[in-house]
Amino acid sequence: MCQIETGQVQYDNYEGRWGDPTQLDRFLQGYAVEAAKQEARRQGYSVTEQPLADGSVRLTVQVGG
């Protein structure tokens, strides 16, 4: 279920029968990274993205100059 007004998403994957929950985690991480980069750039900041060995992502936001 998606609440458009709040951006909240709820789901039930029926204990993994609808797919691997880690795929949803990867999607959510990608969405969060892109949202953070977009907001930083909107405010005029420079952003770099570095994928890490454990699958996480490091974002560096340069503020000021």
- What are the pLDDT digits (tens) for 1-58? 788 888 887 777 777 777 788 888 888 899 999 999 999 999 999 999 999 999 999 9
**Taking the model in full, what pTM does it have?**
0.70
- Tokens 């770099």, residue? 48
Q: In whole angstroms, what is the distance from residue 60 CA to residue 64 CA? A: 13
pLDDT attached to residue 11: 75
Task: For Cα atoms 58, 53, 45, give the angle at the middle one, nearest 5 degrees.
Answer: 15
- Work out whether the CA dihedral 39, 43, 49, 54 comes out positive or negative: negative
